[in-house]
Amino acid sequence: GAVVSQHPSRVICKSGTSVKIECRSLDFQATTMFWYRQFPKQSLMLMATSNEGSKATYEQGVEKDKFLINHASLTLSTLTVTSAHPEDSSFYICSVSSRAGYTFGSGTRLTVV
Amino acid sequence: GEDVEQSLFLSVREGDSSVINCTYTDSSSTYLYWYKQEPGAGLQLLTYIFSNMDMKQDQRLTVLLNKKDKHLSLRIADTQTGDSAIYFCAETTNSGYALNFGKGTSLLVTP
Protein backbone atom coordinates (compact mmCIF):
# COMPACT_ATOMS: atom_id res chain seq x y z
CA GLY A 1 0.00 0.00 0.00
CA ALA A 2 0.89 3.67 0.15
CA VAL A 3 3.46 4.88 2.66
CA VAL A 4 1.90 7.31 5.10
CA SER A 5 3.78 9.50 7.53
CA GLN A 6 1.97 11.23 10.38
CA HIS A 7 3.49 13.84 12.68
CA PRO A 8 3.81 14.51 15.49
CA SER A 9 3.40 11.15 17.17
CA ARG A 10 2.73 12.75 20.53
CA VAL A 11 1.89 16.27 21.61
CA ILE A 12 0.97 17.90 24.88
CA CYS A 13 -0.53 21.37 24.68
CA LYS A 14 -2.16 23.86 26.98
CA SER A 15 -5.88 24.37 26.99
CA GLY A 16 -6.91 27.12 24.56
CA THR A 17 -4.02 26.65 22.14
CA SER A 18 -4.14 25.11 18.67
CA VAL A 19 -2.36 22.01 17.45
CA LYS A 20 -1.62 20.98 13.88
CA ILE A 21 -1.24 17.36 12.85
CA GLU A 22 0.26 16.47 9.47
CA CYS A 23 -0.44 13.46 7.34
CA ARG A 24 1.81 12.86 4.34
CA SER A 25 1.41 10.33 1.58
CA LEU A 26 5.01 9.69 0.64
CA ASP A 27 4.67 7.61 -2.51
CA PHE A 28 1.12 8.08 -3.66
CA GLN A 29 -0.85 11.08 -4.82
CA ALA A 30 -3.83 10.98 -2.55
CA THR A 31 -6.86 12.94 -3.63
CA THR A 32 -8.66 11.67 -0.56
CA MET A 33 -7.48 11.17 2.98
CA PHE A 34 -9.46 10.21 6.03
CA TRP A 35 -9.14 11.46 9.60
CA TYR A 36 -10.19 9.25 12.48
CA ARG A 37 -10.34 9.74 16.22
CA GLN A 38 -9.93 6.95 18.72
CA PHE A 39 -10.87 7.11 22.39
CA PRO A 40 -9.22 4.72 24.87
CA LYS A 41 -10.37 1.14 24.37
CA GLN A 42 -12.77 2.21 21.64
CA SER A 43 -13.05 1.97 17.93
CA LEU A 44 -11.92 4.43 15.32
CA MET A 45 -14.56 6.99 14.54
CA LEU A 46 -14.41 8.77 11.20
CA MET A 47 -14.19 12.50 11.72
CA ALA A 48 -13.90 13.77 8.18
CA THR A 49 -12.90 13.00 4.63
CA SER A 50 -10.24 15.32 3.32
CA ASN A 51 -10.45 16.17 -0.38
CA GLU A 52 -7.53 17.70 -2.24
CA GLY A 53 -8.32 21.18 -3.46
CA SER A 54 -11.77 21.33 -1.95
CA LYS A 55 -13.54 21.45 1.37
CA ALA A 56 -13.45 18.48 3.68
CA THR A 57 -16.57 16.45 4.32
CA TYR A 58 -17.27 16.22 8.04
CA GLU A 59 -19.21 13.51 9.81
CA GLN A 60 -22.26 14.38 11.80
CA GLY A 61 -21.39 15.80 15.18
CA VAL A 62 -17.86 16.90 14.26
CA GLU A 63 -17.35 20.64 14.56
CA LYS A 64 -15.90 22.07 11.37
CA ASP A 65 -14.60 25.20 13.05
CA LYS A 66 -12.87 23.25 15.75
CA PHE A 67 -11.23 20.61 13.58
CA LEU A 68 -9.85 22.45 10.58
CA ILE A 69 -8.75 20.27 7.70
CA ASN A 70 -6.59 21.49 4.86
CA HIS A 71 -5.66 19.29 1.91
CA ALA A 72 -3.74 21.71 -0.27
CA SER A 73 -1.65 19.17 -2.14
CA LEU A 74 -1.88 15.55 -3.22
CA THR A 75 0.64 14.51 -0.61
CA LEU A 76 -0.33 16.48 2.48
CA SER A 77 -3.42 16.85 4.61
CA THR A 78 -3.40 18.68 7.93
CA LEU A 79 -5.79 18.57 10.86
CA THR A 80 -5.71 21.55 13.19
CA VAL A 81 -7.42 21.26 16.55
CA THR A 82 -8.28 24.85 17.40
CA SER A 83 -8.72 26.18 20.93
CA ALA A 84 -8.06 22.73 22.31
CA HIS A 85 -9.68 21.59 25.53
CA PRO A 86 -9.03 18.54 27.70
CA GLU A 87 -11.98 16.71 26.13
CA ASP A 88 -10.15 16.90 22.80
CA SER A 89 -7.44 14.66 24.22
CA SER A 90 -7.46 11.57 22.05
CA PHE A 91 -5.59 9.52 19.48
CA TYR A 92 -5.92 10.91 15.97
CA ILE A 93 -5.11 8.75 12.93
CA CYS A 94 -5.09 9.56 9.25
CA SER A 95 -5.58 7.13 6.41
CA VAL A 96 -4.96 7.06 2.68
CA SER A 97 -6.88 4.97 0.21
CA SER A 98 -4.90 3.73 -2.75
CA ARG A 99 -5.23 0.92 -5.29
CA ALA A 100 -3.45 -1.34 -2.83
CA GLY A 101 -5.96 -0.63 -0.08
CA TYR A 102 -6.00 1.52 3.00
CA THR A 103 -2.85 2.63 4.78
CA PHE A 104 -2.85 4.32 8.15
CA GLY A 105 -0.49 6.77 9.73
CA SER A 106 1.11 5.86 13.04
CA GLY A 107 -1.26 8.17 14.89
CA THR A 108 -0.92 11.27 17.06
CA ARG A 109 -1.56 11.14 20.78
CA LEU A 110 -2.90 14.56 21.78
CA THR A 111 -3.05 15.48 25.44
CA VAL A 112 -4.54 18.83 26.39
CA VAL A 113 -3.70 20.03 29.89
CA GLY B 1 -22.65 4.04 9.25
CA GLU B 2 -23.89 0.53 9.66
CA ASP B 3 -22.92 -1.45 12.74
CA VAL B 4 -19.90 -3.70 12.94
CA GLU B 5 -19.84 -5.84 16.08
CA GLN B 6 -16.99 -7.71 17.70
CA SER B 7 -16.51 -9.43 21.02
CA LEU B 8 -14.35 -7.22 23.18
CA PHE B 9 -11.89 -9.65 24.71
CA LEU B 10 -10.25 -12.98 23.99
CA SER B 11 -7.60 -14.83 25.97
CA VAL B 12 -5.69 -17.84 24.62
CA ARG B 13 -2.61 -19.82 25.56
CA GLU B 14 0.52 -19.56 23.48
CA GLY B 15 0.50 -22.16 20.74
CA ASP B 16 -3.28 -22.46 20.59
CA SER B 17 -5.43 -21.09 17.80
CA SER B 18 -7.33 -17.83 18.22
CA VAL B 19 -10.61 -17.10 16.52
CA ILE B 20 -11.88 -13.54 16.46
CA ASN B 21 -15.41 -13.02 15.22
CA CYS B 22 -17.12 -10.06 13.62
CA THR B 23 -20.62 -9.41 12.36
CA TYR B 24 -21.75 -6.58 10.13
CA THR B 25 -25.14 -5.34 9.06
CA ASP B 26 -24.56 -3.66 5.71
CA SER B 27 -25.43 -6.18 3.04
CA SER B 28 -23.69 -4.06 0.42
CA SER B 29 -20.31 -4.40 2.15
CA THR B 30 -17.87 -5.30 -0.55
CA TYR B 31 -14.48 -5.17 1.15
CA LEU B 32 -13.80 -6.57 4.61
CA TYR B 33 -10.55 -6.06 6.47
CA TRP B 34 -8.72 -7.15 9.58
CA TYR B 35 -6.34 -4.70 11.23
CA LYS B 36 -4.00 -5.12 14.19
CA GLN B 37 -3.22 -2.32 16.60
CA GLU B 38 -0.50 -2.52 19.19
CA PRO B 39 -0.51 -0.13 22.17
CA GLY B 40 0.03 3.49 21.14
CA ALA B 41 0.50 2.60 17.49
CA GLY B 42 -1.39 2.98 14.25
CA LEU B 43 -3.21 0.24 12.42
CA GLN B 44 -1.46 -2.54 10.58
CA LEU B 45 -3.37 -4.27 7.81
CA LEU B 46 -3.35 -8.01 8.41
CA THR B 47 -5.53 -9.26 5.62
CA TYR B 48 -8.66 -8.52 3.66
CA ILE B 49 -11.32 -10.38 1.77
CA PHE B 50 -13.71 -9.43 -0.98
CA SER B 51 -17.36 -10.26 -0.60
CA ASN B 52 -17.26 -12.75 -3.47
CA MET B 53 -14.81 -14.92 -1.53
CA ASP B 54 -15.56 -17.43 1.22
CA MET B 55 -12.13 -18.03 2.60
CA LYS B 56 -8.65 -16.64 2.38
CA GLN B 57 -5.50 -18.03 3.97
CA ASP B 58 -2.23 -16.22 4.42
CA GLN B 59 0.39 -18.06 6.46
CA ARG B 60 -0.97 -18.29 10.02
CA LEU B 61 -4.05 -16.24 9.21
CA THR B 62 -7.31 -17.65 7.87
CA VAL B 63 -10.29 -15.44 7.10
CA LEU B 64 -13.74 -16.96 6.72
CA LEU B 65 -16.67 -15.02 5.32
CA ASN B 66 -20.28 -16.09 5.60
CA LYS B 67 -22.02 -13.50 3.51
CA LYS B 68 -25.48 -14.91 4.16
CA ASP B 69 -25.06 -14.44 7.92
CA LYS B 70 -22.84 -11.34 7.51
CA HIS B 71 -20.22 -13.02 9.66
CA LEU B 72 -16.48 -12.65 9.34
CA SER B 73 -13.85 -14.46 11.35
CA LEU B 74 -10.09 -14.33 11.70
CA ARG B 75 -8.24 -17.42 12.82
CA ILE B 76 -4.66 -17.12 13.99
CA ALA B 77 -2.86 -20.46 14.11
CA ASP B 78 -0.10 -21.15 16.64
CA THR B 79 -0.78 -17.90 18.47
CA GLN B 80 2.31 -16.22 19.91
CA THR B 81 2.72 -13.64 22.69
CA GLY B 82 3.60 -11.11 20.00
CA ASP B 83 0.10 -11.50 18.64
CA SER B 84 -1.31 -9.82 21.76
CA ALA B 85 -2.96 -6.66 20.45
CA ILE B 86 -6.33 -5.23 19.52
CA TYR B 87 -7.84 -6.58 16.31
CA PHE B 88 -10.33 -4.54 14.34
CA CYS B 89 -12.59 -5.72 11.62
CA ALA B 90 -13.69 -3.08 9.14
CA GLU B 91 -15.90 -2.90 6.10
CA THR B 92 -16.65 -0.60 3.25
CA THR B 93 -18.93 -0.70 0.26
CA ASN B 94 -16.46 0.99 -2.06
CA SER B 95 -12.69 1.04 -2.08
CA GLY B 96 -12.70 4.83 -2.18
CA TYR B 97 -14.91 5.24 0.86
CA ALA B 98 -13.91 5.47 4.50
CA LEU B 99 -13.80 2.28 6.52
CA ASN B 100 -16.41 1.46 9.12
CA PHE B 101 -14.75 -0.18 12.11
CA GLY B 102 -15.85 -2.52 14.84
CA LYS B 103 -14.93 -1.69 18.45
CA GLY B 104 -11.99 -4.05 18.39
CA THR B 105 -11.19 -7.35 20.11
CA SER B 106 -8.40 -7.29 22.65
CA LEU B 107 -6.39 -10.50 22.29
CA LEU B 108 -4.26 -11.61 25.22
CA VAL B 109 -1.86 -14.47 24.68
CA THR B 110 -0.55 -16.08 27.84
CA PRO B 111 2.56 -18.28 28.09
Q: Name which of B95, B98, B104 is nearest A49 (Cβ-Cβ).
A: B98
Q: Work out whether the CA dihedral B44, B33, A90, A28 comes out positive or negative.
A: positive
End-to-end alpha carbon distance in chain B: 39
Cβ A35 vs Cβ A92: under 8 Å: yes
**pLDDT for the residue numbered B25:** 86
**pLDDT for the residue numbered A47:** 96
Section B1-28 average pLDDT: 90
**pLDDT for the residue numbered A72:** 82
Q: Which residue of B has its CA nearest to A47?
A: B98
Q: B103: which chain A residues are within 8 Å (Cβ-Cβ)?
A: 42-43
Say if residue B59's pLDDT is above 90: yes
How far is Cα B69 from Cα B87, in angstroms, rounded to an integer?
Answer: 21
**Higher pLDDT, residue A72 or A59:** A59
**pLDDT for the residue numbered B1:** 47
Section A2-30 average pLDDT: 93
A104 pLDDT tier (thresholds 50, 70, 90): very high
**pLDDT for the residue numbered A99:** 75
Best residue of B43, B89, B95 to probe chain A, by most A CBs closer than 10 Å:
B43
> Would you report the helix, strand and coil content of chain A in percent, each value rounded to 5?
5, 55, 40
- B59 touches A at CB < 8 Å: no
Percent over 90 (pLDDT), chain B: 74
pLDDT tens-digit map of A20-48: 999 999 988 888 999 999 988 788 999 99
Per-residue buried b or exposed e for A35-63, using 16+ beta carbons within 10 Å of the residue's own CB: bbbbeeeebbbbbbbbbbeeebbbeeebe
Residue type, A102: Y
Percent over 90 (pLDDT), chain A: 73
**pLDDT for the residue numbered A1:** 65
**pLDDT for the residue numbered B104:** 94
Listed ranges A37-41, A102-106, B24-28, B61-65; the one with the highest mean pLDDT? B61-65
A102 with B33: Cβ contact below 8 A: yes
3-state secondary structure of B20: strand
**pLDDT for the residue numbered B36:** 96
Q: B42: which chain A residues are within 8 Å (Cβ-Cβ)?
A: 6, 93, 104-107
**pLDDT for the residue numbered A58:** 95
As a whole number, the mean pLDDT across chain B is 92
**Higher pLDDT, residue B27 or A95:** A95
B43 with A43: Cβ contact below 8 A: no
Task: Return the closest-CA partner of residue B42 out of A2, A99, A32, A91.
Answer: A91
Q: Name which of B88, B96, B100 is nearest A32 (Cβ-Cβ).
A: B96
As a whole number, the mean pLDDT across chain A is 92
B2 pLDDT tier (thresholds 50, 70, 90): low
